Structure 1
Amino acid sequence: MITTARRAVPVLALASLLGGLGTVAASSDAFAATQSRCSVERGLTMGRGHVTSVCTPVYGPGISGAKMVNQHRAVVHCDNIRGQGNAHDIHNTLYGPWKNPGEKSEVTCAIRSTLTGWDQQTN
């Protein structure tokens, strides 16, 4: 009986320690969805295509045009023309960093690339 009690104490201590670590990890990764109005702005920065994603939090019941957003990021589609005699396009898609509502996510095409499209991703 005493041997069982001695074994149970370290197991319970380990379980409580792991449970506490799981709670800390879950709370740092969890973001509350915020009702936001999102938009995408495009332009040129030193001749390169530049896209900015902006989600502005809005407060109040029943606001039209707003959606629930955890995070957002800008997406840019670029074409890069390679080759001199046999020119060909290389299509690539670049993604900006995930940002919380109220922060800007920016991404720029590479040098010698042409902006062909832009988008915004939310989750």
Structure 2
Amino acid sequence: MRWGKKIAAMSLTVMMGAVGTGLLAAAPAQAAGKYTCKATASMDKLGRPNASSVCKAGGGKAVAKHRVVIKCDQVQGAREQVMTWTLYGSWVGPGQKSTVRCGTKNFLRGFSVQTK
């Protein structure tokens, strides 16, 4: 299987204001500029899902900090119980990249950007 191509085909650009972004508390316009944020997902060489987010200048909303959120599914036990883990990247300023990675034997469930 070519996971890279499947993830690239399924990659989702999450714009600020989209459903499911969670924390969209906008900072005052004087404290932060206008930015457009997006999240992307990929697979590393070992098959682990990675997600990253970046906010670039241009139209959009006022952003002081952002981080990426990734949801990973892991199959556990003889009965194959599915556990969902939510992992958060570090809070970084606009123009910087926030990244987070699921562990081994995990499957990508979803990803998004949180801002404040």
TM-score, length basis structure 2: 0.70
State yes or no: 1:121 paired with 2:114: yes
> Matches of 2:93 and 2:57 in 1, distance apart?
10
Which protein is richer in helix relative to its size? 1
**Counterpart position of 1:105:** 98
State yes or no: 1:43 paired with 2:42: yes
**Counterpart position of 1:95:** 88
Alignment of 1:1-123 (within 5 A): 32-46=31-45, 47-58=47-58, 63=59, 66-83=60-77, 85-123=78-116
> Matches of 2:57 and 2:96 in 1, distance apart?
10
CA deviation after TM superposition for structure 1 residue 57, in Å? 2.1
Q: Gaps (5+ residues) in structure 1?
A: 1-31
SS of 1:55's equivalent? strand
Which structure carries more relative contact order (alpha carbon 8 Å, separation 6+)?
A: 2
Q: Quick one: which amino acid aligns to residue 62 of structure 2?
A: M
CA deviation after TM superposition for structure 1 residue 33, in Å? 1.4
Percent identity for Structure 1 against Structure 2: 36
SS of 1:70's equivalent? coil
> Matches of 1:86 and 1:39 in 2, distance apart?
37
> Matches of 1:97 and 1:34 in 2, distance apart?
20
Aligned-CA RMSD value:
1.4
TM-score, length basis structure 1: 0.66
Runs of 4+, deviation exceeding 3 Å: none
Structure whose CA Rg is larger:
1
> Matches of 1:43 and 1:94 in 2, distance apart?
15
